[in-house]
Structure 1
Amino acid sequence: MTLPTGRDFRPPWPLTSGHIQTMLSSSGVRRGLLPRRAYKVLEGAEPIMVDGGDGVRLTGAYTAQTAQATPRGLAVLFHGWEGSVDSTYVLQTGSRLLAEGWDICRLNFRDHGDSHALNEALFHSCRIDEVVHAVGDIAHRWPSRPLALAGFSLGGNFALRVALQAPQKGIPLSYALAVCPIIDPGEGLFSLEESAPWFYQAYFMNKWRRSLRAKQAAFPHREYFELQELKQNLRGLTEALVLRHTDFGSLQAYLDGYSVAGHALTAMQIPATILTARDDPVIPVDAFEKLELPSNVELDIAAYGGHCGFIRGWDMTSFCDDYIAARFNAIAEARSPIT
């Protein structure tokens, strides 16, 4: 089987612009233009509550496939920072995998997808233990095999870290795929502040401030932040919340806590793929080129695609759907008994 690669993605102009790809990826324009099949995963979806351990509860949605007599396996999907199970890229990928015969579980991270009132402590990117525990709960409750995981942006970072821990935690994860994952958080934060156009930081900050206000409203007896802190830039607000709500002694210690840069992935035991784009304006490509990876981890750097875009044309469908489905199906076929 010949699998698609990043080299195969050759969008027409002006979709050769990483900025246009990035801006369209989560835009309302794209949601309106996508074909109805991109939302198929919403039909018959069951809202779920997942155990994150130590009393933590995470929300999500489960959709059972009906394309074939038995499922190919279970696909777990992670959204990006301030996204949710209903983000366009999650719905589109989930719908494609559903059509291919995969059962789909879309997981919300803490404080995402209107789940702010479930857990009193704030979300931060080092809360990997609860996500690992949640994936273990999902694997137990919906035992379709193989179990494959895909994440986007921050969700891609979480997917790689879950895959690192899965064998030791007894989670039967067969494969993980990360699209434009955050590799070096310190470098990514600096990029948004210094290199990327101003509107990217404005976009993320507006969403984050809205989320923090929702958290404060859900737990009015807690003081999560001071109003003056909300007016700070990305670095300033991150540092304030790290020092106020985590055990990390500094912003850099926190950023290092969820980094997968350098040799961090050399211990990966399961097959994994990292797909990114050289023109991604949010996550610098340099961090990917410096990765030290074992032979079972595939690094695929496409020339185009922006940040989690990979939009093929004006129907707004994504090359990622073909890319992820092909690799997930290959894992399923490799596990199928010879008849």
Structure 2
Amino acid sequence: MDFSPTMDDTSGGRDRHTWTARHYRPPWWLRGAHGQTLAGKFLRPAPDSMLETERLETSDGDFLDIAWMPETDPNAPLVLVLHGLEGHTRRGYMVQTFLALADCGMRAVGMNFRGCSGEMNRKPRFYHSGETEDLGFVFGLLRRRFPTRPLMAIGFSLGGNILLKFLGERGANDTPAFSAAVAISVPYDLSAGADALERRGMTRVYAGYFLRSLVGKVRAKKEILANVLDLEAVWASATIRDFDDAATAKLHGFAGAEDYYHKSSSRRFVQSIRVPTLLIHARDDPFLAAAALPLPTIEANSFLTLVLTDRGGHVGFLEGGLPWNPTFWVEEQIASFLVHCHQGASTTNPDATPILPGWVDPNTENL
């Protein structure tokens, strides 16, 4: 794909930035929210032999590991991709996104948050849902290395919250960091997301999985954290909220879990985003109910495009007629949107609902 001709889309506006999402059709064999969520994790192949890891030394004496896809077209956008809570760059949804971008001629680079690349970071601090300094550090490095190349960004779940907060913090008062962005299954309201993970049933299973991983990281660094945290309170954490109160908040300068959730939730920042940004969310996302989405704020911002599907779970969105050969709708939409933003070309599809920035796509199964 030739990326030589470009068009500046950063000014946004409903009259200039049109794009069409292909209608999402959940397969007959995978219609439930939890099935989609689990299948999204276990049925996405993750071939990672093509990834090359680079270690970046940070100014505070720590490090970040980033993973590069091979170069494609040096005129094409470079796309930074952020993973979710306790994820990493070799997760299936990350690798499938890298491959979808490569199919369109774009090069991806994945960012591992501190302590997520398979090696524990050096400093007491970790990462959290509102930590944008490391993202700013990586963005600055990419901009210095590629001063004229278009930079775009994608964030999944927690990574999407970080990305939206970062974009909102920069707002209209600075040169846009990225020329376009996509955020998938974002917990816009972190307190509501914590509430969702405290419900009975499968959501408690998800919470237990995350909690074991997070507490395990504190155990791995207990020698350097013993004088920073009340470790007994960390070990006693029964919920994500308990852990955030005992560890996340104290390690990162918040008064407690609620203070952390309030200051870090991306819903407080989306109104200030001035970069064409695609938001994809499922109404049945078990990590955040659709009622917690900041819909009026999104609708009022002409730089935002929301695709809200009835089904899809959390970072699921699988399609396909057979369980052993699924296809990945969300990766396709990500690549389509970013190609459109870069080329300034209008994408049409008679089987889809036209989307304009600020519009909410009903995308119901009966369309």
**Equivalent position of 2:285 in the other structure:** 280
After superposition, residues 244-263 of structure 1 pair within 5 angstroms as 244-261=250-267
Correspondence 1:215 to 2:231: no
Deviates more, 1:194-203 or 1:83-92: 194-203
Aligned residue type for 1:61: A
Q: Which structure dedicates a bigger proportion of its chain to helix?
A: 1
Deviation at 1:242, TM superposition (A): 4.1
Correspondence 1:306 to 2:313: yes
Q: 2:210 aligns with which of 184, 204, 215?
A: 204
Normalised TM-score (structure 2): 0.79
Deviation at 1:56, TM superposition (A): 4.5
Flag the 1:140–1:166 CA change in 2: closer, same or farther, 3 A: farther
Flag the 1:57–1:144 CA change in 2: closer, same or farther, 3 A: farther
After superposition, residues 176-187 of structure 1 pair within 5 angstroms as 176-187=181-192
SS where residue 5 of structure 1 aligns?
strand
Normalised TM-score (structure 1): 0.85
Correspondence 1:319 to 2:334: no
Flag the 1:169–1:135 CA change in 2: closer, same or farther, 3 A: farther
Deviation at 1:213, TM superposition (A): 2.5
- 8 Å CA contact 2:132, 2:163 repeated in 1: no
Aligned residue type for 1:109: F
Correspondence 1:132 to 2:142: no
Deviation at 1:52, TM superposition (A): 4.9
After superposition, residues 1-339 of structure 1 pair within 5 angstroms as 3-5=19-21, 8-27=23-42, 30-31=43-44, 34=45, 39=47, 42-43=49-50, 45-50=51-56, 52-66=58-72, 68=73, 70-143=74-147, 145-166=149-170, 168=173, 170=175, 172-194=177-199, 197=202, 198-216=204-222, 219=224, 224-227=229-232, 229-234=234-239, 235-242=241-248, 244-261=250-267, 264-288=269-293, 290-293=295-298, 294-313=301-320, 314=323, 315-334=325-344
- 8 Å CA contact 1:163, 1:268 repeated in 2: yes
Q: Percent identity?
A: 26
> Paired residues, what number?
321
Deviation at 1:248, TM superposition (A): 1.7
The gaps in structure 2 that reach 5 residues or longer are 1-16, 346-367
Flag the 1:164–1:53 CA change in 2: closer, same or farther, 3 A: farther
Question: Counterparts of 1:88 and 1:125 in 2: how far apart (Å)?
Answer: 21
SS where residue 173 of structure 1 aligns?
coil
Flag the 1:283–1:196 CA change in 2: closer, same or farther, 3 A: farther
SS where residue 105 of structure 1 aligns?
strand
- 8 Å CA contact 2:131, 2:162 repeated in 1: no
Question: Counterparts of 2:282 and 2:207 in 1: how far apart (Å)?
Answer: 19
Flag the 1:48–1:143 CA change in 2: closer, same or farther, 3 A: farther
Aligned residue type for 1:330: H
